[in-house]
Amino acid sequence: MNALNQLAPFILMFVVLYFLMIRPQMRRQKQERNFIQEMKIGDKVITKGGMHGRIVELTEESCVIETLAGKIKFERSAISMELSAKLKK
CA pair distance 79, 81, nearest whole angstrom: 6
Shared domain for 29 and 44, answered yes or no, is no
Shared domain for 6 and 24, answered yes or no, is yes
Look up the pTM and report it: 0.76
Shared domain for 86 and 63, answered yes or no, is yes
In sequence order, what are the residues at sequence separation of 6 or more whose Cβ sits closer than 8 angstroms to the Cβ of residue 84? 35, 43, 44, 45, 46
Give the range of the structural domain holding residue 81, as residue numbers without chain letter. Answer: 40-89
pLDDT band at 3 (very low <50, low <70, confident <90, very high): confident
pLDDT band at 86 (very low <50, low <70, confident <90, very high): confident
Mean pLDDT of 30-37: 94
pLDDT band at 7 (very low <50, low <70, confident <90, very high): very high
